[in-house]
Amino acid sequence: MHHKAGAFYSNGDTSVDAIGPYLFMQGKKGVRVTGDSALLAQFIAGVAKKDSIIELGSGSGAIMLQLAWQTPSPRIIGVEVEEASLKTSIE
């Protein structure tokens, strides 16, 4: 099911945004998921079959989550050193 692109829900400092078939809860400021993340994940999913995937600078982790849903890859590893992005990915 695809949602209409853009803000699905907004309240205070948080919004739920529709990107492709996914809904992402994210802060209105700082690191945000965009349509580029969805496009990159679709491309990687098309070429990654059973290999491990490592994403350097994984930010919010949105691409890794999309890959986990789209690929049979046994291992998806994200590496992030920026503390704000790491906190967002854990939440």
Tell how many helices (H) and how many strands (E) occur in the chain.
3, 5
Q: Taking 70 as the threshold, does the pLDDT of residue 24 lie above it?
A: yes
Average pLDDT over residues 72-80: 82
* CA nearest neighbour of 58 among 40, 73, 71: 40
Q: How does strand 53-56 pair with strand 76-79?
A: parallel
> What is the reported pLDDT for 62?
82
pLDDT digit string, tens, across residues 53-70: 888 888 878 888 888 887
Distance CA 27, CA 42 (A): 24
Q: Collapse the DSSP code of 63 into the 3-class scheme (helix H, G, I; strand E, B; otherwise coil) and give the result.
A: helix
And the tokens for 73?
A: 């890859």
